[in-house]
A = this chain, B = another copy of it.
């Protein structure tokens, strides 16, 4: 593995750049690839990687160079546990996110790419890797494969394996794309896949509150209350994500496997009760495997798997306690008592 760096603008503690790297992948041979990143914060400050779901990217939050909204505005910023005035916040585009790799991608490949990126940026070790959903899987791989590159891992809504039911759900989403591709209805297929995925990201409790209206008849067919919302989510996704990128990153969740007993990095696992993709039982299994290196926090949220995008105050309180303990923050706020804390 080797990497060459191309640094973009450096304004107001913001560096946006990319590296050209050669990566030996697990299933797709040796690949040349370009890894794009954003690094925001004062040079020399501790570095925290923030990694999100498969449709997340390097732009976590608005900054001095790119004022557009990021995918996790509520999770970082002034007063947050991850605060780019005191830490360096590093985020990157996942391998395959551009749609340029039409071959199986593994979470191990993502972790190796992170190690290359740290090499290129001269970052010896991260203060923490904070991964949400897919980012948690990548973080677990990084901890297993490159343990000296991070002091702490926070794995939110992700486990050491895909649950078989969640894998089946994703496989059917991929079949929806394939059905669309049968006759150039690619966008309809990807939209439908995303709509099915939304049901796995959210919960019946939320739908029960939001969409409790009678169906209508439209052109002689029944239309239920949630369809407007789901179709809008599908359309938004199609406009943003290439089908190949989505397919290969979806697959990579199902290829994911980490033996947690091999991880020696201190790891906080955050699970959400009612998450339909990552059941609490798998989070418990992960923490059991981590042994003394693992701790578990459980949130109750009607947002299920998407809780990390919606319950940002509660997530931040957990992060503050975790990262604050390493001295970055002056005070450790109390954890609200609606967290169910458990040491397994």
A positions within 8 Å CB-CB of B: 27, 102-104, 163-172, 174-176, 179-180, 182-183, 185, 188-189, 192, 195-196, 199, 203-204, 207-208, 210-215, 217, 220-227, 230, 251, 254-255, 257, 276, 279, 281
Contact = CB atoms under 8 A, between A and B. Distances in A.
A213 B168 CA distance: 12
B189 A179 contact: yes
Given A104-B217, A207-B165, A188 B199 contact: no
Nearest to A170: B224
A185 B179 contact: yes
Given A172-B196, A196-B196, A251-B222, A165 B208 contact: yes
A49 to B, nearest CB: 26
Given A220-B103, A222-B251, A223-B171, A192 B165 contact: no
User: Which of A172, A227, A281 has the most chain B CB atoms closer than 10 A to its own CB?
Assistant: A172
B224 A164 contact: yes
Q: How many copies does the complex hold?
A: 2
A298 B203 CA distance: 22
A169 B197 CA distance: 11
Contacts of A168: 199, 207, 211, 224, 226-227, 230
A281 B212 CA distance: 14
A133 to B, nearest CB: 17
12 contacts: A164-B225, A165-B199, A167-B211, A168-B226, A171-B224, A172-B192, A172-B196, A172-B199, A179-B189, A182-B185, A215-B255, A222-B255
A164 B207 contact: yes
A107 to B, nearest CB: 12
B182 A254 contact: no
A104 B221 contact: yes
A217 B26 CA distance: 12
B172 A230 contact: yes
Contacts of A227: 168, 171
A226 to B, nearest CB: 4
A254 B213 CA distance: 11
A324 B213 CA distance: 40
Nearest to A214: B257
B221 A251 contact: yes
Contact of A192 (B176, B203, B230, B254): B176
Contacts of A170: 224
Which 4 residue pairs spanning A and B have beta carbons closest together? A183-B183, A165-B204, A165-B207, A168-B226
Contacts of A222: 104, 171, 174, 251, 254-255
A215 B170 CA distance: 12
Given A104-B217, A179-B176, A222-B104, A164 B255 contact: no
A182 to B, nearest CB: 5
Contacts of A183: 182-183, 185
Contacts of A214: 257
Contacts of A179: 176, 179-180, 185, 188-189, 192
